[in-house]
Amino acid sequence: MTGAPPILPGATVGVLGSGQLGRMFAIAARQMGYRVHTFSPDSDTPTGQVADLEVEASYDDLDAVRNFARGVSVVTFEFENVPAATAAAAAECTAVRPNGSVLHITQHRLREKTFLSTHGFPVTPFRPIRSIADVRLAVEELGCPAVLKTASFGYDGKGQNTIQSLAEAEAVLKTAGSFERVYEKFVDFEREVSVVAARGIDGSFAHWGVIDNTHHNHILDLSISPADVAPEVEREAINITRGILETLQVIGVLCVEFFLTKSGTLLVNELAPRPHNSGHLTIDSHVTSQFEEQLRAICGLPLGSTEQLRPAAMANLLGDLWAGGEPNWAAACAIPEVRLHLYGKAEARAGRKMGHLTALAPTPTDAARIVRTARQSLVG
């Protein structure tokens, strides 16, 4: 509980990071009458295009960070690889929500997994890897197949290798450098699901239920809400999520990504201490979106209702779709149940998240079918 008065519309909120998550946060903030400043090393960014002020400076320029923080009532982030020192410098000058320790834990896979297992949350069996000797022991103890992941700066499958033998694991360490890594048992999961949730300053909790996620090349491809899971799996996923937000004392939004095994067990794969790609559909399908909830939480306002208005599915639009020229936007817009979101990125590179489509329908299965058809129509 904090006695700080709420930060009300008309105030300025600051975002560290300037990608699409910051953009959708800024749109929600502007809708509620707030001003938005964004800070990142880039210019003409997805967030900067819709913000009142875009500061272009390095995260290591701590004077620039302090200056930025002095100009806003609260700082949040949309990118968890902001250095801990940056969050600390901002915290000298204004409120930072969620706090820097949430960032510190979740930006490093080993710290994150150690935090989770220490507090009794279920995780994939793992071992820390700092040397060839560690990798030999990990292969002996956990066996193969496995996934070797860099401890820092990994997302969307970056810095990951699937390992079938000790020789392969040793080769990765020799050729890709001796960074700190995590050796994780390969999970032959039935599906991947996530729970996006929010925690307010007063400890209140809200969630958008269980979302079903399909990945392609380690990048999220399709999300469906609600996920078709047994009620006890849903209860368990939400309980675990609530426990994680509570233990971390999050103020803001956090997403828990899970593997659901064939025997119905949930294992936490990863945490994201911010709105998440799988929650983008909440903009169109729920009373309050994950972005508005992030704003409400960090400003100390009551959380909004997360009631679902209609089943929904979201399909990511990656840069690959531009290979044959500009996608046919009119074709997707011709499907009445579909909404188009584009992030204002000038350069369409393969694998780059450029936008997404959301379809609303009477059932989740219908929504998934419609959103797939709509995405296909962009290049058909």
Closest approach of Cβ 89 to ligand AMP, in Å?
A: 28
The residue written with tokens 């392969």 in the block is 168
Interface of this chain with ligand AMP, residues 33 to 72, rule: CB under 6 A: none
What's the number of CA atoms in the CB half-sphere (13 Å) around residue 285? 30
Between 81 and 269, name the residue whose CB sits nearer to ligand AMP: 269
Q: Considering the rule CB under 6 A, would residue 293 count as an interface residue with ligand AMP?
A: no
Determine the 3-state secondary structure of 30 from DSSP: helix
As a whole number of angstroms, the distance between CA 338 and CA 326 comes to 19
Q: Which residue, 51 or 271, is less far from ligand AMP as judged by CB?
A: 271
Q: 349: buried, middle or exposed (CB in 10 Å: 19+, 13-18, 0-12)?
A: exposed
Tell the smallest beta-carbon distance from residue 219 to ligand AMP (Å).
8
Residues 6+ apart with CB under 8 A from 370: 313, 335, 337, 338, 359, 361
Which one of the spans 19-27, 74-82, 152-160, 339-347 is the region binding ligand AMP (CB under 6 A)?
152-160
> Looking at 187, 195, 227, 317, which residue binds ligand AMP (CB under 6 A)?
187
Question: Whole-angstrom Cα distance, residue 279 to residue 277?
Answer: 5
d(CA 125, CA 117): 9
Q: Does 215 bind ligand AMP (CB under 6 A)?
A: yes
User: What sign for the dihedral angle of Cα 72, 273, 183, 113?
Assistant: positive
Q: What is the DSSP-derived secondary structure letter of residue 238?
A: H
Within 75-134, the residues that bind ligand AMP by CB under 6 A are 124
Q: Is 216 in the site for ligand AMP (CB under 6 A)?
A: no
Q: Which is nearer to ligand AMP, 183 or 343 (CB)?
A: 183
Show the tokens assigned to 152. Answer: 């820092």
> Does residue 192 bind ligand AMP (CB under 6 A)?
yes
12-20, 73-81, 154-162, 286-294 -> range binding ligand AMP (CB under 6 A): 154-162
Q: Which of 51, 65, 147, 301 binds ligand AMP (CB under 6 A)?
A: 147
By C-alpha distance, which of 104, 93, 86, 85 is closest to 17? 86
Kindly indicate which of the ranges 73-81, 85-93, 185-193, 227-235 contains the residues binding ligand AMP, using the contact rule CB under 6 A.
185-193
Which residue in 71, 122, 157, 351 binds ligand AMP (CB under 6 A)? Answer: 157
Footprint on this chain of ligand AMP (rule: CB under 6 A): 124, 147, 154-155, 157, 184, 186-187, 192, 215, 218, 257, 269-270
